[in-house]
Structure formats: structure tokens, C-alpha cells
Structure 1
Amino acid sequence: MNPASGQDAPLLVAQGLTRLYGTRIGCADVELEVYPGEILAVVGESGSGKSTLLSLLSTELAPSSGRISYRGTDGVMRDLAAFTEAERRLLLRTQWGFVRQNPEQGLRMA
């Protein structure tokens, strides 16, 4: 149970999530649980794997290893890799929200 939200079951679970780019590591062995009502921010230094992690969680990239599961409106936890393309698009349009940072917005450009 997540004491912050009082929820028993997570909506999203990432287990052992890893993405390799050849010999380079995009992210390694990520473990993550997101519960109903939680808002999550992913922060870190440039090159630390934030974009890779979000691309994995949003199914834009396939993991090199690991698993991502999601509890749908039916209450059933399913592996995101088993979702059809149509199911993934519907999920991204109706239930998930990602705010991607434009690096130029953080710069003072004259």
C-alpha cells in the first residue's frame, strides 16, 4: 500500500526496465510504481536517462529488458508489451499525460 495515496494497488509498475543503445546504457534496472492520484516528476542531469525512461513508459521505445504493467479501467494489470497499437494510442490519448520539456524554454536566448 502507498501511504501517501492510501491506494492498495499501483496503476503502473516498471520492473527491471533497461534500455541499451549498442553498448551505451540509456537507463538500467529501473523499478517504479505509480499509484492512483500520484503526480510524478522525473528530474536529473542531462544524459541521465529521463527521456529514455519516459519513451519506454509511453511505449515509444521497446525495453532491452524488463517489464511495464498497467492496471486499466477494468482493474486488470496487463503487460504493456501485450497491448495492440490501437490500445496504446487510446491509452496515451485518454488516460495518460506527459509534459515534455523543450530545452530551449530553459535558456535565455537573446
Structure 2
Amino acid sequence: MVHTRERRPMWTVRAHAALVAVLLAGFCVLRVAGAGPDANIGLGLVGLPLIGLGLPWSWPHLSTPELYDQLPAILWWPAAFGPAVLNVGLHALAVRRLRRRRHVP
């Protein structure tokens, strides 16, 4: 039987991954749906938390966003939101290492 204390860290990784996935999906939907000449405020409301979830790796995007504006779309997406996905992977790796360390006699 697995104790809740041992399962708790994996739950946090799943919640972190779900949050990033939902925000990325929302960003994609809003980007496609709002492809017009007007400003898409919803896009910013979804994109900013994604950039925040990528800290500290997304700091260059926050400090000098004009550098990212010059990138083509194929590079802009991973440069802007890749750090959030990277943090999910690092979170999972840290939890895995912590769980292994606890189980080694």
C-alpha cells in the first residue's frame, strides 16, 4: 500500500503539468480564434501566467520583450513558452530524485 505522503509529490507534478497544459491550450485557441486586427486581451491574460511559470528561464522575455518580437512564429512559441514546459520537466525530475533518495535504504 502506498502512503499518501509518498504520493503527494507526484500529485504536485501532475497539477503543475495540467496547469501549463491548460494555459498552453487556451493560448493556442485564443491565438487562432482572435487572428484579427484588434488587440486580443485574453491572449495576454493567458500568456503572462505561462511566462511566469517559466521563471527563471523566461526572464529574458520579461526583461527585453522586443527581442522576442523579431523572432519568426516558429521560434517565438518555444522561446516564450518553452521555459514553462521545461520547469514541469525539472519539477518531475526533482520529485523523482527525491522519491528515489527516500526509498534507498
Using the size of structure 1 for normalisation, the TM-score is 0.28
Which has the larger helix fraction?
Answer: 2
Q: Which structure has the larger Rg over C-alpha atoms?
A: 2
More relative contact order, 1 or 2 (CA 8 Å, 6+ apart): 2
